[in-house]
Amino acid sequence: MQRTNTRPTMAPVLGVLLVTVLLAYAPAALAKPDAKVAAREHFQKGVAAFEDRRFGEAAEEFDAAYRLWPAYVVLYNIGQVDVALGRSVEAVDAFDKYLKQGASSITAERRREVEAEIDKQTARIGTLAIRTFPEGAEVRVDGKLAGKTPLPGPARVDAGHHTIEAILADHAPRVREVDVAGRAEITVELTLEAVAAPAPPPPAPPPPEPPVVARSVERIVIETPPAPAPPADGYGGQRASDTRERRRDSGVNWQRIAGITLTVAGIGTATWGGILAYRGATKSSDAQDRLADPSLTDEAWDAAKRDFDDGKSANQRGWIIAGVGAAGVVGGIILTATAPERSSSLAFASWLTAREGGLIVRGAF
């Protein structure tokens, strides 16, 4: 019996696992071309904004392009925008990452140019060594969180005026204004004074107890008459309603059959949808590889883009079908699990009565 009960429950589980694996594979296959195309659009918008001297907008577009497709060449543009905005710290960080990620791909002339710009911007950067008493305070420099004291090291800031704020629970906050020159090293110490916690409010008085009223209680006993015995049907058996009840008890459990049928149909639908989604993902992945080829002509690039869109659409349709199948599997499992237990045995009761002309046999199934 255990072996017979285990097989129907394992089939839905395997179907759900198949759908889960295919759902995890599809987004990874489709995300790469979309990210590259979107990054290219942000990069072109950043170049146009930089040429129009809209440096704030250019910085946002270049940052978005690098997040979507982290190509090292974008870091050079980010550094140039930071220089134009007077953000020396960010410019030095961007140029350092550009040299490290580009490595041997960067020409010697470009490397000398970037290194010279790094030296120029470094001369406009100072450091702030911030300490608080007691430690554990949250430190913000110009509204940006620098960490909790003790800080791991001095904070680098652009030359100019800066606001330092220290916040600690149960202490009064401290604010300090400082002017920092290029290559200057300034130590800032902030002492935070403890603030007495307010006294808790007095507890509310308990509500008055209600007055006790004596009441007399009478006990009433109601006798229930015995239930009448069920009348016989004239042949020494029970009533016809009892016979119908036994028929219902011994009937076929249609809910369990419907649950198993829905589960099997759901597995088939989910598998079919998974295969369709897999084919679409494969087609879009092949088109992605062609899109990444820089030597493609415009006609070939358009054809590859159409293949990618067709594969993506097929992939989405496949996952919709697979989702419907998975829902059918879940519904079938619920129907099967909640089906009431029924007796599978066949009950038969017969009575034999002798009358004129022969014997009369009556039975109940």
Residues 54-108 have pLDDT tens digits of: 999 999 999 999 999 999 999 999 999 999 999 999 999 999 999 999 999 999 9
DSSP per position, 280-341: HHHHHHHHHHHHT-TT--HHHHHHHHHHHHHHHHHHHHHHHHHHHHHHHHHHHHHHHHHPPP
**pTM of the full structure:** 0.47
Q: Whose CA is closest to 267, among 6, 16, 5, 4?
A: 16
CATH of the domain at 104: 1.25.40.10
Residue 198 lies in a domain: no
* pLDDT score of 27: 46
**What tokens does 149 get?**
């004291």
Q: Under DSSP, is residue 134 helix (H, G, I), strand (E, B) or coil?
A: coil
Cis previous bond, 340, omega within 30: no
CA separation for the pair 41, 21 (Å, rounded): 32
What string of H, E and C letters represents the secondary structure of 198-241? Answer: CCCCCCCCCCCCCCCCCCCCCCCCCCCCCCCCCCCCCCCCCCHH
CA-CA distance, 112 to 108, in Å (whole number)? 6
Domain's final residue, options 73, 88, 122: 122
Q: Write the CATH number for 181.
A: 2.60.40.1120
Q: How far apart are CA 93 and CA 91, in angstroms?
A: 5
Report the distance separating Cα 72 and Cα 42, nearest Å: 15
pLDDT at 235: 42
In a domain, 321, yes or no: yes
* Same-domain check for residues 151 and 94: no
What digits encode the pLDDT tens for the residues 240-271? 455 455 555 445 677 778 888 988 898 999 89
The CA distance from 156 to 146, in Å, is 10
pLDDT of the residue at 26: 44
Q: Give yes or no: residues 144 and 184 share one domain.
A: yes
The confidence score (pLDDT) of residue 141 equals 96
Q: For residue 163, what pLDDT is reported?
A: 97
Residue type (1 letter), 212: V
Residue 107 domain-assigned (yes or no): yes
Residues 60 and 160 in one domain: no
Backbone torsion region of residue 165, taken as left when φ is above 0, otherwise alpha when ψ lies between -120 and 50, otherwise beta: beta
Which one of 103, 122, 141 terminates a domain? 122
Q: How many residues does the chain have?
A: 365
Domain span holding position 42: 31-122
Residues 142, 162: contact at Cβ < 8 Å? yes
Helix axes 72-84, 108-122, angle to 10 degrees: 40
> Cα separation of 14 and 10, whole Å?
6
- 230 domain-assigned: no
Name the pairing type of β-strands 138-141 and 349-355. unpaired
Token reading at 218 = 């009478």
Beta bridge partners of 187: 129
Do 152 and 107 share a domain, yes or no? no
Same-domain check for residues 96 and 43: yes
Residues 301 and 329 in one domain: yes
One domain for residues 143 and 77? no
Last residue of a domain, one of 73, 97, 122: 122
Is residue 112 located within the same domain as residue 169? no
Query: Domain for residue 90, yes or no?
Result: yes
Cβ contacts of 175 within 8 Å, gap of 6 or more: 163, 164, 165, 166
pLDDT of residue 352: 46
Our count of domains for the chain comes to: 3
Q: What stretches in the chain show pLDDT beneath 70?
A: 1-33, 211-252, 341-365
Asked if residue 24 is part of any domain, the answer here is no
Asked whether residue 223 is assigned to any structural domain, the reply reads: no
Neighbours of 157 (CB within 10 A): 23
Measuring CA to CA, which residue among 143, 140, 95 is closest to residue 116?
95
Q: Tell me the CB-side half-sphere exposure of residue 151, using CA atoms within 13 A.
A: 22
